[in-house]
Structure 1
Amino acid sequence: MSIYKREGSPNYTYDFQFKGQRFAGSTGHANKRDAEAREREIREELKRQFANARSFDAAPMTIDEAAGRYWAEVGERAKSHRDINWSLVYIVKNLGPDKAIASITDSDVAALVARRRGDLVSYPKMIAGKMAKERIPKRISNSTVNRSVIDPLRRVLRRAEQNWGETVGRINWRVHRLREPVERVRFASAEEEAAIFAVLPSHYHPAVRFAILSGLRASELCGMKWTDINWSGLIITVRGKGNKTAPIPLSAAMIEILAPMRPRDAVGTPVWRNMSNEPMTYRSLSAAFVKACEQAGVVGLRLHDLRHTCATRLLRSTGNLKMVSRLLRHSDVSTTAKYAHVLDDDLRNAMNAMEPVKVPS
């Protein structure tokens, strides 16, 4: 038996290894037989604890446990952590916190999607470019259902299976994913652009012009800081979706906009500011743009369409779809293919301009 008496100690000491871990201490007994009995008790207690731990680990993971672990490992540090948190809470509440992830079926997912499709959300009503107190209740879109329920649940279950070794049910996700409308490609014509700038307050002009030249998303535009600009390399580092950063070149026209506003010290302050010298927000820029479009008589043009405007003009000037994809930072050029109709239009116009061959009579 692995017991012995330390020098100067009246009691026996136990010292052994269990599952690769060393355990040592006093048995509390001076009699060897009693000490051996105590050591056996300690070993049996460790075996029971180990068996209980294995039993606990083998218990089916619930959706509440899976969501909590996903939040700790992924969601909490994500740029869209608020949206992820909302989705996880919604999923756990509607599936039931004690629902084992191995027992989630297509029927459960279908019921969850149906519940989410029935939710209402209220949108602010715009009157003469200003938000009224009245709000319009509408059912949420298919894309919102996909992003807020189907996609996060699928990510949680995939991580549970691939990273945690858990058993999950077989779900036919393709059946549950709702069809989303193809993203429209609306861009501003030269005439529309001129009409908008004629009524848009002048302090918004630099930001809007920069958006058209750079193809930045509105959130990326408003998040620009002076420290993001490398003047020697003529590069700007953009923080985009998923908190990903990517460099894009500064053109001469973009530099012409930024240079007069450049501060003496390259501090990490926002580039774009309003009339009160406060950081320009997405909300204020969007409201000003919507109001300008209404006053200019431009219908169906959103702030995000300035990105489409940039892509369309670059494609028309270069005919290079990959170059447009590079500027817009699309991970797959197939995402950029929605702009290909621009080349079709140019081709059609060129074909229409062709003179028919005169056949001698």
Structure 2
Amino acid sequence: MADIAKVRQDKKGYYIFLQWQRERHFISTYMGLVSFRDNELLAKKAKDAIDSEIDRGIFRPERWKTRAKKLYNVQGYSENWLKKIEPELSTATHFDYYNSFKNHINPVVGHEYIEDVNLDKLQDLMNRIDRIPKGKKNVIGALHRMLKYAHRAGHINQMPLFPEFRGTNKIIKPEIVYIEPAESLKILEKIHIRHRPIFTFGTLTGCRPSEARALRKQDMKVNQITFAVTFGRHEELKEVKGKKIMPFPMTEALIELFHTMPKNLTHWVFMNPETGNHYGRNINRIYNRARKKAGITERLTLHKFFRHSFAMNLLNQGVAKEIVSRLLRHQDLRTIDNYGDYKTDPLKSVLDNIQSLNLQPICNSEAANQ
């Protein structure tokens, strides 16, 4: 075993000295937790442990120092990591990561040194997270991203294995709930005509409600609409999800809608006539009142009314998934697979057309033989 660490003594007691990777280190706590200043046996035990870690190639001086321990355990490291990557994250993602560490990760493994996080500890963490499997995956995903950063930064030698989501933790895709076109019309009819344009726009484009509220006149072009900005968690104007601006075609239905809308002097396309400003989150109350008046008691959100219904109704008409995905401006085309369980009507229509063509020669042949 290596004999690099040395037990020494000064007027304050015992400590360990070693020169490691061209730096000198003075250590007086066992694993950054217990001081061995007045305990020679513990100091010698710490020396042996350090030499053993050096032999195995896993020695990290910071894990043995009290001050550094706070920086390299999961809780301390996560706090610094979240500050560093905050400019790269959307407000919503940063908020979710912060809550994942505060409410779920740190109470269980926050005291662990990041290099000591292993499959067993991750499995225990996953089992103790009191959320549905999808929520558990989001929490574990936050920790995975942090450890991946630590690995790339050289703070851990390798990434630990992560548990698989099986059994009771298996993630089952939720059913896509949407509103049929006839029901959508009933809801629109129950919305006061002053507020109806923005809701009609949502059903025609499948945009997110916050994108409709944030639509500006400068985003309108002759042949297309650009969804460039949206409202964030605190109603701040920010870039749209994914930050990649994708145009939406200016359809005849949209042209007619904009032609019939009352004009306003603001830079917003849709102005709330009651406030003289853009629509706020109270748009949800307007929608929910109309939904109930239309006799739809199921709690279907405005997001589902706009986005899910737009997508599912196109799919049910036989429009290709790739086209629907482009219209929804998905960054990842695989996202449209979440909408896979749509009606069989368009499938039946396709099969009927193909099978009628295949059967036509047979039918003609039989007729000729009669």
In 2, Cα distance between the equivalents of 1:338 and 1:291?
Answer: 29
In 1, Cα distance between the equivalents of 2:217 and 2:222?
Answer: 13
**Matched residue, 2:86:** 75
Give the stretch that moved more between structures: 298-307 or 339-348: 339-348
Q: Does 1:303 align with 2:302?
A: yes
Whether the aligned pair in 2 keeps the contact of 1:212 and 1:310 (CA below 8 Å) is yes
**Gaps in structure 1 of 5+ consecutive residues:** 1-46, 118-139
In 2, Cα distance between the equivalents of 1:48 and 1:164?
Answer: 14
Among the aligned pairs, what percent are the same residue? 19
The CA deviation string for residues 101-129 of structure 1, in whole angstroms up to 9 with x for no partner, is 11112332233333331xxxxxxxxxxxx
Q: Does 1:51 align with 2:51?
A: no
Relative to 1, partners in 2 of residues 1:186 and 1:238: Cα closer, same or farther, differing over 3 Å? farther
Q: Does 1:290 align with 2:281?
A: no
**Matched residue, 2:34:** none
Q: Does 1:323 align with 2:326?
A: no
Of the candidates 182, 190, 196, which is equivalent to residue 173 of structure 2?
182
In 2, Cα distance between the equivalents of 1:262 and 1:113?
Answer: 54
Whether the aligned pair in 2 keeps the contact of 1:104 and 1:169 (CA below 8 Å) is no
Task: Give the superposition deviation at 1:351.
Answer: 5.6
Task: Give the superposition deviation at 1:153.
Answer: 0.8
Give the stretch that moved more between structures: 351-360 or 270-279: 351-360
**Matched residue, 1:7:** none
Q: Figure out how many residues of one structure are paired with residues of the other and give that number.
A: 289
Whether the aligned pair in 2 keeps the contact of 1:142 and 1:178 (CA below 8 Å) is yes
In 1, Cα distance between the equivalents of 2:265 and 2:112?
Answer: 59
Q: Secondary structure at the match of 2:174?
A: coil
Give the stretch that moved more between structures: 349-358 or 312-321: 349-358
Of the candidates 143, 154, 176, which is equivalent to residue 153 of structure 1?
143
**Matched residue, 1:211:** 202
The 5 A counterparts of 1:123-142 are: 140-142=131-133
**Matched residue, 2:247:** 247
**Matched residue, 1:93:** 106
Relative to 1, partners in 2 of residues 1:105 and 1:340: Cα closer, same or farther, differing over 3 Å? closer
Relative to 1, partners in 2 of residues 1:93 and 1:236: Cα closer, same or farther, differing over 3 Å? same
* Structure-2-length-normalised TM-score: 0.65
**Gaps in structure 2 of 5+ consecutive residues:** 1-19, 27-49, 51-58, 64-71, 230-239
Q: Secondary structure at the match of 1:173?
A: coil
Q: CA RMSD in A?
A: 3.8
Q: Does 1:62 align with 2:73?
A: yes
Whether the aligned pair in 2 keeps the contact of 1:235 and 1:248 (CA below 8 Å) is yes
Whether the aligned pair in 2 keeps the contact of 1:75 and 1:84 (CA below 8 Å) is no
What amino acid sits opposite 2:203 in the alignment? I
Q: Secondary structure at the match of 1:171?
A: coil
Whether the aligned pair in 2 keeps the contact of 1:315 and 1:321 (CA below 8 Å) is yes
What amino acid sits opposite 1:256 in the alignment? E
In 2, Cα distance between the equivalents of 1:84 and 1:274?
Answer: 38
Whether the aligned pair in 2 keeps the contact of 1:143 and 1:180 (CA below 8 Å) is yes
In 2, Cα distance between the equivalents of 1:100 and 1:201?
Answer: 59
What amino acid sits opposite 1:293 in the alignment? R
Relative to 1, partners in 2 of residues 1:328 and 1:287: Cα closer, same or farther, differing over 3 Å? same
Task: Give the superposition deviation at 1:213.
Answer: 1.0
Give the stretch that moved more between structures: 239-248 or 307-316: 239-248
Q: Does 1:281 align with 2:284?
A: no
In 2, Cα distance between the equivalents of 1:93 and 1:101?
Answer: 12
* Structure-1-length-normalised TM-score: 0.66
In 1, Cα distance between the equivalents of 2:320 and 2:181?
Answer: 21
